[in-house]
Amino acid sequence: MKNKLLALIILCTFYSLNAQETDADPYQKNNEIKVNLFTPLTGAVEVGYERFLNKNTSVGISGFFVFDNRKEEDMNYYISPYYRYYFGKKYDSGFFAEGFGMFTSIDGKKIYSADHLTFTENTDVNDVALGAGLGWKLVTKKGFVCEANAGYGRLIFNADKTDHDQVLRLGLSIGYRF
C-alpha cells in the first residue's frame, strides 16, 4: 500500500513539473511606462502604463490632462484602458492593433446668440467612448521604447450634450520597459 501511494505521489509530481512552462525568459521585462511627446504641444500631458501578458498581447491605461485651456479648448481629461495585439516577431513590439475604452470630460455644447458673436457654454460633459487604433513600437535592447499610434472612437451616451461625438488619440511616445 505504501509503495502504491509513493508511486502515485511521484507520478503526480512529475506530471505537475512537466506542465510548467520552461521556455519563459526569467529576465523578460513585462511592464512599461511612457510619456506622449505630442500632447505638450497641444497644452496637455499624457502618461501611460502597459503590462505585457504574453509575446503578442498587452493591456494598459493612459491618462490625459489639459494644463493650458488656450491650446486645448474642448477636452478636459480622459482615462483610457486599452488592449493591444502585436504582430511583430519580437516580444510585444512592431506593428499593433488596439481596442480602447475612454472615460472622458469634454466641454459642453456652445449656444450662440442670434448675431453669432457671443456664446454661452453648457456644463462639462462626462462620457464613455469606445474605439480602435493602430500603431508601431520600437524597443531597444536596454529597454527604451519609441511608439507612434493613432486611434478613433465615438462617444456612447452623451454625444448630444457636446459639440463633439468622437474622440481621437494621437501619440508619439517615449518610455522605458522594466
Q: Is 105 exposed, middle or buried (0-12, 13-18, 19+ CB in 10 A)?
A: middle
Question: Would you state the pLDDT for residue 109?
Answer: 63
Stated pTM of the model: 0.76
- pLDDT tens column, 63-99: 999 988 776 667 788 999 999 999 988 888 899 999 9
List the CATH code of the domain at 25-177.
2.40.160.20
Question: Would you state the pLDDT for residue 54?
Answer: 93
Question: Would you state the pLDDT for residue 11?
Answer: 59
**Per-residue b or e along 67-87, where b marks 16 or more CB atoms closer than 10 Å to that residue's CB:** eeeeebeebbbbebebebebe
171: cell is: 501619440
**Per-residue b or e along 35-46, where b marks 16 or more CB atoms closer than 10 Å to that residue's CB:** ebeebeebebeb
What are the boundaries of each domain within the chain?
Answer: 25-177
